[in-house]
Amino acid sequence: MTGAGGGLGREYAMLLAREGARVVVNDLGGARDGSGESTAMADQVVREIREAGGDAVASYDSVDTEEGARAIIGTAVTEYGAVHGIVNNAGILRDRAFHKMTAEDWEAVLRVHLFGSYHVTSAAWPYFREQRYGRVVMAASTSGLFGNFGQANYGSAKAGLVGLVNTLAIEGSKHNITANAVAPMAATRMTEDVAPPEMLAKLPPEQVAPLVGYLLTEECTDTGMTLVAGGGTYYRVQPFQSAGLRFEQTPSMDDVAAQWHTITDMTDATPGVNPVG
């Protein structure tokens, strides 16, 4: 469980431990923008889990390097002998309007969210394939699904995770490995100034945890799904495609313009399918 030192990650870790899972609580302990580090956050969650009768160990490694990710998975294997599921929840925010965003802000967010999720999943993947079992949950976001002002970096990283889930679901299917994405809506330090207080008051993070927990179970075999959870509401998001229009010959720009309504009309839309898959 990456990013498990507070907020949503803490809720996921606490619930899973109550359900009998042995949990690696990973958190770098940095600030919301990714600066700094501390062992205190992960240690506190481990202490709470153990005091409640659960089993957990701390990890302070960073997800944004291959070495850090291997160390996280290595902790699970060393301490518990195996790794059966991962939740890629670690994240930072560096919100800026696009015209003010620096390359450093862009890269830092993608390194943690997208590259970090890749690194951790890549480190766990050989174990999943060998044991023919694994569960992957990615922390997506409605900012990636629908967009949000000032979050071009964050939204791009989160949308990238949905694309990664789609492919992992295909490649993992014959090895009993599932991959799903959850876009949580919850009041945490990541969202404290992103949404109005009256809205956040209705979005306690513990309401998201049961969905993440279920996706990690042996009983849940659905894969390749993107789900939104928050405020007691769960729903699935899926790409749809219009009926469209086939041109018998290469159209001109005027032809495209003339048929634009037909091309984009979603009245008879159907679930999207990869035409080359």
The catalytic residue positions are: 154
- Tokens matching residue 30: 């940095």
Q: How far is CA 22 from CA 14, 78, 83, 146, 180, in A?
A: 10, 12, 10, 35, 21
- Tokens matching residue 76: 């699970």
Give the separation between CA 81 and CA 64, rounded to whole angstroms: 24
What is the separation of C-alpha 132 from the centre of its chain, rounded to a whole number of angstroms? Answer: 22
Q: How far is CA 89 from CA 11, 29, 97, 111, 265, in A?
A: 11, 13, 24, 13, 36
Q: How far is CA 109 from CA 70, 105, 144, 216, 233, in A?
A: 20, 6, 13, 26, 28
